[in-house]
Amino acid sequence: MATDYDAIAQEYQASKLMPWRKHIEAYTYFNLIGDLNGKDVLDLACGDGFYTRQFKLRGASNVVGVDLSAGMIALAEEAENAKPLSLTYICSDAAELSIDKQFDLICASYLLNYAHDEQSLKAMCDAIFKHLKPGGKFITINSNPDYRGTVDSLMPYRFTRENESYKEGAEIIYRFYQPDDSFVSVTNYHLERATYTRVLESSGFTDIKWHVMELSKEGEEEFTSDFWKVILNDQPVVGISSRKI
C-alpha cells in the first residue's frame, strides 16, 4: 500500500532521535503500558518498528506490528533481518485488520489521529476491540485534540504543528525538521476529545482515561526546565488508556 510515509520513511526515523521523543513521548508511553513481561502484543501503526522492537526487548513474549505504509514495513523488516527478534510485520490498514488472534495488549502510537471523521475512527476502534482479549488493555498516544499552541512554539524540539482549524476533520500539519534544516510533513486530523471518548465507548471500551505527557528524571537533568517549559505546557501529544472487560 502506498501512503505519504513511503516517501519520508527515513526522515521520519531521524525525527525519532530528538530528545523529546525519549524523555517525554517514550517515557510517558511506557509508563502507561506498564509491565510487558510475557504479553502478547499488537503494535498498530508500528511504522519502522521503533516501539515494536522495544516491546519485545522489554519482555513481551510475542509482538505483531501492523502499518499501512509498505515503505515503513520494509524498514521494519530490514531491521528484523539485520537483528532478528522474532517479530511479525503485516502491511494493512488497522481499520481493516482481521487476524485470527486476540492480544493481551494493543498499543498504537499515532494511529487514531489518522481518522478524519467519526466513522473512520469507529472502524479503527472496532478492529482494535475485536483483536483484544477480554481483560486486555488498549494504550495509545495521539495528537492532543486540546492543543492550542502557536505553529512555531514547538520549534525548540525541531517540529511545528499547525491546526487548519479546530473543526471536526480539520487538518493538523506537522513538520519534522532534519539536521540540515530541511523538513518532512505529515498530516493528521482533528477530532474532539469528546468524539474519541464517545467512539471508544461505543466500540465497547471501558475505563477510558486521558493522560498528560510527563518528563523523565533523566530529561530533567539533561536539559534546563526552560527548555521543556513549552512542550509540557502546550502538550501537543496526549495518552489514552482503556480496557476491554
Distance between CA atoms of residues 204 and 100, nearest Å? 19
Among 5, 103, 159, 189, binds ligand SAM (CB under 6 A): 5
The residue from 8, 24, 45, 76 that contacts ligand SAM (CB under 6 A) is 45
User: Interface with ligand SAM includes 200 (CB under 6 A)?
Assistant: no
Taking CB under 6 A as the binding criterion, the range among 46-54, 176-184, 198-206, 216-224 that sits at the site for ligand SAM is 46-54
User: CA dist 130 to 80, 157, 229, Å?
Assistant: 27, 37, 40
Check binding of 128 to ligand SAM (CB under 6 A): no
**Is 229 exposed, middle or buried, given 0-12, 13-18 or 19+ CB atoms closer than 10 A?**
exposed
- How far apart are alpha carbons 114 and 172 in whole angstroms? 10
The CB-of-184 to ligand SAM minimum distance in angstroms stands at 11
Is residue 41 within the footprint of ligand SAM (CB under 6 A)?
Answer: no
Q: Is 93 in the site for ligand SAM (CB under 6 A)?
A: yes
Residue 11, interface with ligand SAM (CB under 6 A)? no
SS3 192: coil
Q: Which of 32, 42, 60, 72 binds ligand SAM (CB under 6 A)?
A: 72
**β-strand partners of 105:** 41, 137
C-beta of 115 vs 228, nearer to ligand SAM? 115
Among 3, 88, 235, 241, binds ligand SAM (CB under 6 A): 3
Instruction: Give the nearest distance from C-beta 226 to ligand SAM in angstroms.
Output: 27
- The residue within the footprint of ligand SAM, chosen from 89, 110, 138, 189 (CB under 6 A), is 110
CA distance 73 to 94: 13
Regarding 103 and contact with ligand SAM (CB under 6 A), the answer is: no
* SS3 category, 41: strand
CA-atom Rg of the chain in angstroms: 17
- In terms of DSSP bridges, do strands 206-211 and 183-189 run parallel, antiparallel, or are they unpaired? unpaired
User: Is 184:175 a contact under the CB 8 Å cutoff?
Assistant: yes
Q: How many residues make contact with ligand SAM (CB under 6 A)?
A: 20
Q: Is 55 in the site for ligand SAM (CB under 6 A)?
A: no
- Residue 154: CB atoms within 10 A of its CB come to 20
Q: Is residue 236 within the footprint of ligand SAM (CB under 6 A)?
A: no
Question: For residue 171, what are the β-bridge partners?
Answer: 189
The footprint of ligand SAM (CB under 6 A) covers 3, 5, 16, 45-47, 50-51, 66-69, 72, 93-95, 109-111, 114
